[in-house]
Amino acid sequence: MNVQKKGKKIVISVLGTDRPGIVALVARHLFENGCNIEDVNQTRLQTELAAIFIVSIPDGLEAHGLRSLLQDALDPLGLHVLVKEMVTDERYVHNVEGEPFVVTTIGPDRLGLVAGITEVMADFGVNITNLRAVFRGGTDPARNIMIYEVDIPKDIDQERFRKALKDRAEALGIDLNLQHRKIFEEINRI
């Protein structure tokens, strides 16, 4: 099979009520139109699916044309499709050398938990690479969990960052743990 590796890249987002077969349907239409899937990530939040595909498209196929094809295929399922050309803006490319860490929080649900923690991360130039937050309400900590995978720049004062995070977590009334990703993975493997 001739795999399209170079050329224009586009980002496709698919949103809607989850059900079996959505990713297969999108992938089949991409394949039939000569598109190569380079990255895909999908998740389900409660009943809603969000899937993001980065694909390279063959010469002659435009993003708006592909969007129209996909929307026609996904309309019967009530799904929404967004398509945009992938443009790398050098101002936002994260070239800072860093270490991967995992930040977890648990505690009673309240307004402002994500805003409060992410504000500290942004102040220190810490890049969030993955975030999973589940809030089911109430005071049971196990029902309200945030897991951030982050890259911490090597040139920041990690002790100051750690203290700022702990202080913010205390102010929010939640417990926070910060571990190097290797340690986190080892502990959670046991």
Say which residue the tokens 């699916």 belong to. 49
Specify the CATH class of 98-188 in words: alpha beta
CA distance 71 to 76: 9
Q: Does domain 9-90 have CATH number 3.30.70.260?
A: yes
pLDDT at 183: 86
Residue 2 has pLDDT above 50, yes or no: no
Say yes or no: do domains 9-90 and 98-188 share a fold: yes
- Enumerate the domain spans of the chain: 9-90, 98-188
CA distances from 130 to 45, 60, 74, 140 (A): 15, 34, 27, 24
Confidence of residue 87 (pLDDT cuts 50, 70, 90): confident
Q: What is the per-residue pLDDT across 160-174, written as a single tens digit (0 to 9) for each?
A: 999 999 999 999 999
CA distance 105 to 133: 9
What single letter denotes the amino acid at residue 151? D
CA distances from 27 to 10, 67, 113, 143, 181 (A): 14, 13, 36, 34, 32
Q: What is the per-residue pLDDT across 9-57, written as a single tens digit (0 to 9) for each?
A: 999 999 999 999 999 999 999 999 999 999 999 999 999 999 999 999 9
Q: What is the per-residue pLDDT across 99-120, written as a single tens digit (0 to 9) for each?
A: 999 999 999 988 899 999 999 9
Q: Give, as one character, the DSSP assignment of residue 62.
A: -
